[in-house]
Structure 1
Amino acid sequence: MDRVDSIPPPTGDDLAARADAYAAAPLLNCLLREVARPVADSGGLRTYRLPGVDRLLRVRGVRRPTGPEVYAAGHWHRIGHTELVKLVAEELRRHTGLSNHELPADMIDSREAVAALLAARARAREPEDPYLRSEQSLITGHPHHPAPKARGGGPAAGWLPYAPEAHARFPLVLLGVREDAVAEEGDTSALDALGQAPPGYRLLPAHPWQLDLAGRELTGAFADGRLVRLGTTAFDVWPTAAIRTLYAPGRDLFLKFSLDVRITNDIRRLWRHDLRALRRTDAEAAKAFAAPGGSAAWLSDRGYRTAGFAFEELAVLVRDGLRGHLLPGATPLLAAGLVEGFTGSPLAAAADPAAWWEAYLRAVVPPALAAFAGHGVVLEAHLQNTLVAVDADGLPVQALFRDAEGVKLLADVGREAGWERLVYTLVVNHLAEVAAALAGHRPGFDPWPAARRELGRHDLPEIAALLTAPTLPGKTNLLLRWAGADGADARYLPLPNPLARPVPGR
């Protein structure tokens, strides 16, 4: 099986080796997809040429490449993560003509974060709730990002208590904001039930990590009474895979916060312009899922509250919980967790992978295409924004989508750009990864005929081209970060299209 996440819990030097393997896999995926040129594939080893440095690189495995080796002086030499980072940086300097000191530091930070997470997980107890286990399973994280676990370069002691991958849980800090300084929009009533604000103040929960990060900027507001500290919640919240989005199971409530830390491509702050636009995109997404006849659901971002003098720093977004949307008896699971693997995953346990995969496709594909075709809504339907609910037998029965911040409207972006984005998030980022994970557990299983059949059922003018085009759009996260592009930018390169094969009987 092509996995790096099936190794026993780490001890001593083994932890360092596992951290190297976890950190190297997504970095290698980026390098091999975006820059390297394939040379040979033999005996489980794949060899590539790095054109910038004119070196040969070989790896084992496909989905999660491991064991990178470089050919020099007539021999293959194994390289660790630090040497790999140096090699990638030199290749990119020559390939692009640009220098970048920040990204290599993030690559190293990502690896150090993985080591800290592995050590913490070995001591922690995973949650009993399978949904929370799925949200907190992502040690690899984004499989095609050069530094998916970077945490801003700060010491682990500052962020580890709030890391989902370390099975963290913690109370929220409660603040009071003077009423004349409150800024809010939409339905934020759930926040008022989290505690008791004194007269003349409104309740504002804060992520403790963000409060640490923004501490100096808020000193004046605490001093003059615009902000007051009210203790903490009487209950714990659980960080989800998104890190800054927390779930309160007892309240069945999601809260999304600002974090002034770069995670993958973006500084994860709730930006003012995004918050202002959120009500429109959320309303359109909610409308798309309100049509009768489907089981899929949209987790609405109901509204936000913040302080006008620290609009982005203290913003909190209120999101629907799960229970009002789930089918009776269904258990929600994060799609990214199914790919990564966690205790009790129904993907790994599927006795009939064909039936499981067909059920998965029926749950996920129709609502995403219907939102696009019928409502002009482009879901950011990638692995971390999709929950898949399963029945008592572990069979997928429902999809739930989230995050209005990532939604695009065709009225704004145009149909061609919107379709490209949907194909990338739904097919390349999502379905291809689930298909590969399922095939990894069941060697010889081909998931693509069923995917072609499911997509072919839908009457969209773009479908015929999708099923015959030789390539699909793959996002260039490594080159985007190296070039210092805006985190919201998306530039694509062509990837081989596994859908573009004839289906018997069609």
Structure 2
Amino acid sequence: MERVEHMPPSDDVAERADAYAAAPLLNCLIREVAQPHPEPGGRRVYRLPGGGRLLRVRGGRRPAEPEVHADGAWHRVDHTELVKLVADELRRHTGLSNDELPAEMIDSRDAVAALLAARARTVPPEDPYLRSEQSLVTGHPYHPAPKARGGGPVAAWLPYAPEAHTRFPLVLLGVREDLVVEEGDTSALDTLGQAPPGYRLLPAHPWQLDLAGRDLAEAFADGRLVRLGRTAFDVWPTAAIRTVHAPGADLFLKFSLDVRITNDVRRLWRHDLLKLRRTDTAAVAAFADLGGPAAWLSDRGYRTAAFAFEELAVVVRDGLRGHVRPGATPLLAAALVEGFDGSPLDGPADAAVWWEAYLRQVVPPVLGAFARHGVVLEAHLQNSLVAVDPDGIPVQALFRDAEGVKLLPEVSRAAGWERLVYCLVVNHLAEVGAALAERRPGLDPWPAARRELARHDLPEITGLLTAPTLPGKTNLLLRWLGADGADARYLPLPNPLVSA
């Protein structure tokens, strides 16, 4: 990939980057803080309660062209001004200051500009699955800084950015045998290269190795760790950035990455690794019992070094070939919302039939795993794949990421259900349904969603279909208040299932 980090963005790229970055930030502000304000005309108007200012935006699910009312007129604000406006409003709203989040917002916008410039000089992968994984230029539609890359220089992360259509070889390390820590089935790692006698093979993500390099210098110097070159093949970064796909080996590998991406520093934390086998085993058992076409991509095991347990950890995840139905093409659910070349949302002759098929594949396994096995899948858009037949009709759902799975009774049933409803209904179905309805005006996705949910015999379903609100995650306030990324907090959102 041609390097573009030293090239100033064109006016077009700068304007597009502003628009891409503003949409999710506005979504957060409108969901979590702003109050609807009646105003005639085609644009939506909101009152910002901290200072009483009025905000006006154009558009529906992706707000655009923000304006603030002052001195009797509306004034357009660019992304930099929008960040200042949001920060000032949050200071007034919470009584607290935060210098870190505004910097992340600016970093996210600048990352988008770098990605747009890079995408103009690269060719998307031919494989529609890989193309879907590498399509998320906007990213999380309700996060204030979805594309922030830790504030580091573009040259450090762009070669590994999925949105830039990159691929790259992994670094191969040898770890002294007596210092290897592993659990589960990690045998696939031993096929990636050849370790010398007395050592075991450990692949490393090049970006993470750069980040952790100074801390590992002593281990390289005393022979606990040796460099063995690189893999003979390239891997493709997926939307998760630190998880890569090796199509030839039919593997996914998930690495530590000491960079904050959305709410979390994406390190493979020790406490998560130590419970990985328990959560994955429960998910595997649940899907084996469910029947039907749905599949779980198992996190088979992990391997690392005792002296750098979190820094060098790698998780081995099932590939696709053993799970995807013959003739079907898997696609990332988040890509359906973002849009990409070849998306089935652009083509269904009957959008209602397509949506009903989508619901039939996605909803039953999530509810079944919860009802019958107490497994709470983190079935949000980025953890869900939907396989479509040659006509683009959904025929299978696949789910991944044991790290995000919760088990009953380790969490209470009420807490598990709230998390399930947020991930499946608010984060996932609402977004895919809205993206489809945007392309097919007149389609209301909620009656079909209500019918599908009502088919399932869970005591919580009646409440889901009749409660006035659903839980919406407050990513803007979480980041402003400096909460732990796993510490989800919710606010009530109007429940469209009731009116449906």
The TM-score with structure 1 as length reference comes to 0.97
Match status 1:373 vs 2:366? no
8 Å CA contact 2:125, 2:131 repeated in 1: yes
**Which amino acid counterpart does residue 123 of structure 2 have in structure 1?**
R
Corresponding residue for residue 16 of structure 1: 14
Q: Structure 2 CA distance, aligned partners of 1:335 and 1:115?
A: 24
Write the deviation string for residues 299-358 of structure 1: whole angstroms up to 9, x where unpaired. Answer: 000000001000000000000001101111111000000110110100121111000000
For the Cα contact (< 8 Å) 2:9–2:113, is it kept in 1?
no
2:439 pairs with 1:441: yes
Q: Deviations over 1:396-449 (max 9, x none)?
A: 000000000000011111111100000000000000000000001001111111
Tell me the percent identity: 82
| Residue 120 (structure 1) aligned with residue 118 (structure 2) | yes
Q: Which residue of 1 aligns with 2:467?
A: 469
Aligned to 1:229: 227
Distance 1:73 1:395 in 2: 53
Which secondary structure does the structure 2 equivalent of 1:214 belong to? helix
Contact 1:238 1:246 in 2 (8 A): yes
1:284 alignment counterpart: 282
| Corresponding residue of 1:295 | 293
Deviation per residue, 1:79-132 (Å, 9 max, x gap): 000000000000000100111000000000000000000000000100000000
Q: Select the residue among 86, 89, 102 that pairs with 1:88.
A: 86
The one-letter amino acid paired with 1:193 is: T
Partners in 1 of 2:176 and 2:41 — Cα distance? 67
| 2-structure distance, mates of 1:326, 1:138 | 23
Counterpart of 1:6 in structure 2 is none
Secondary structure at the counterpart of residue 411 of structure 1: coil
Aligned position for 1:58: 56
Aligned to 2:3: none
Letter in 2 for 1:335: A
Match of 2:412 in 1: 414
**One-letter code aligned to 2:13:** L
Counterpart in the other structure of 1:342: 340
2:181 paired residue among 173, 183, 188:
183
Q: Give the structure 1 partner of residue 102 of structure 2.
A: 104
Q: CA deviation at 1:53?
A: 1.7
Check the 8 A contact 1:299/1:319 in 2, yes or no: yes
Q: 1:26 Cα deviation (Å)?
A: 0.2
SS at match of 2:234: coil
Report the CA distance shift for 1:442/1:104 in structure 2 as closer, same or farther (over 3 A).
same
Q: 1:455 aligns with which of 453, 456, 467?
A: 453
What's 1:216 paired with? 214
Per-residue deviation at 1:292?
5.5
Give, in whole Å, the separation in 1 of the partners of 2:173 and 2:358.
42
1:384 to 382, 402, 405: 382
Q: 1:11 deviation in Å?
A: 7.4
Give distance in 1, aligned partners of 2:40 and 2:308: 57
- 1:123-174 C-alpha deviation (Å, 9 max, x unpaired): 0100000000000000010000000000000010000000000001000000
Deviation at 1:43, TM superposition (A): 3.5
Shift of 1:42: 4.3
1:315 aligns with 2:313: yes
Seen in structure 2, the aligned counterparts of structure 1 residues 166 and 42 have a Cα distance that, compared at 3 Å, is farther
Distance (whole Å) between structure 2 residues aligned to residue 42 and residue 248 of structure 1 = 54
**Could you say which residue in structure 1 is the equivalent of 2:152?**
154
CA distance, structure 2, for counterparts of residue 253 and residue 293 of structure 1: 24
Cα separation, 1, equivalents of 2:51 and 2:319: 51
Instruction: Name the CA distance, whole Å, in 2 between partners of 1:217 and 1:44.
Output: 56
Contact 1:130 1:333 in 2 (8 A): yes
Shift in Å, 1:293: 2.8
CA contact (8 A) 1:44 1:61 kept: no
Distance 2:46 2:290 in 1: 51
Aligned residues: 493
More moved, 162-171 vs 34-43: 34-43
One-letter identity of the residue aligned with 1:93: R
* Alignment-derived partner of residue 238 in structure 1: 236
Q: 1:499 aligns with which of 483, 497, 500?
A: 497
1:332 is matched with which residue?
330
Structure 1 segments (4+ residues) deviating >2 Å:
40-44
Q: Secondary structure at the match of 2:38?
A: strand
The CA deviation string for residues 3-31 of structure 1, in whole angstroms up to 9 with x for no partner, is: xxxxxxx9720100000000000000000
Give distance in 2, aligned partners of 1:299 and 1:41.
Answer: 49
Q: Deviations over 1:202-250 (max 9, x none)?
A: 0000000000000000000000000100000000000000000000011
Aligned to 2:65: 67
The answer as to whether partners of 2:290 and 2:369 remain within 8 angstroms in 1 is no
Distance 2:40 2:155 in 1: 44
Q: Secondary structure at the match of 2:458?
A: coil
Aligned equivalents of 2:39, 2:16: Cα separation in 1: 25
Question: For 2:89 and 2:383, how far apart are their aligned partners in 1?
Answer: 33
Alignment partners' CA distance in 1, 2:299 and 2:87:
39
State the distance in 2 between where 1:219 and 1:415 align: 46
Q: Which amino acid aligns with 1:70?
A: V
Residue 134 of structure 1 aligns to a residue in which SS? helix
Verify the 8 A CA contact 1:60 1:68 in the aligned structure 2: yes
Partners of 1:142 and 1:18 lie apart in 2 by 17
Give the Å deviation of 1:291.
1.3
The answer (yes or no) to whether the contact 2:272–2:403 under 8 Å persists in 1 is yes
Q: What stretches of structure 1 of length at least 5 have no aligned partner?
A: 1-9
SS of residue paired to 1:397 = strand
Q: Report the TM-score when normalising by structure 2.
A: 0.98
